[in-house]
């Protein structure tokens, strides 16, 4: 997942390094720009994405209980990660050619939740004892 988030960060990194300004960031050399980018963009983005994945998996757990399916949080979290891989790669490809904001990633939460509901509906129901 961290590698996928790194791929998602490539368009922002390119936009950050290619933009020139008069501020402090423009005066830093390339090494410090990379460190600055990873501390103030990649790390918060990773934390936000992991929190969102956990929230979506938590919602999936509630949906699984409501649909009486035998799924646990850990399995639903992994399924949520798999559902986000295609939208993240699509975001990366589009982000290289067109400037996009990171807020666009929140749109993929609805996509992941929709596919998570579809995946949950495929799993068998709990056996009644």
The DSSP code sequence of 100-117 is --GGGGGHHHHHHHHHHH
Size (the chain), residues: 129
Residues 6+ away with beta carbon under 8 Å from 79: 57, 60, 116, 119
Among 113, 118, 129, 120, residue whose Cα is nearest residue 67: 120
* Residue with token string 């501390």: 39
pLDDT at 73: 93
For the ranges 27-41, 44-58, 86-100, 112-126, which has the lowest average pLDDT? 27-41
- What pLDDT does 99 receive? 77
2 is written with which tokens?
């961290």
Confidence of residue 23 (pLDDT cuts 50, 70, 90): low
pLDDT tens for 56-70 read 999 999 999 999 888
């Amino acid at each position: 997942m961290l590698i996928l988030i790194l791929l998602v960060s490539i368009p922002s990194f390119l936009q950050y390094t290619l933009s020139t300004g008069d501020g402090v960031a423009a005066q830093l050399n390339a090494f410090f720009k990379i460190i600055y980018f990873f501390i103030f963009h990649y790390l918060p983005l990773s934390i936000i994405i992991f929190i969102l994945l956990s929230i979506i998996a938590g919602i999936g757990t509630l949906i699984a209980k409501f649909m009486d399916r035998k799924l646990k949080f850990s399995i639903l979290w992994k399924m949520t990660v798999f559902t986000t891989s295609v939208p993240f790669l699509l975001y990366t490809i589009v982000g290289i050619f067109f400037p996009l904001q990171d807020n666009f990633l929140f749109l993929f939460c609805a996509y992941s939740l929709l596919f998570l509901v579809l995946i949950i509906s495929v799993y068998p129901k709990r056996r009644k004892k």
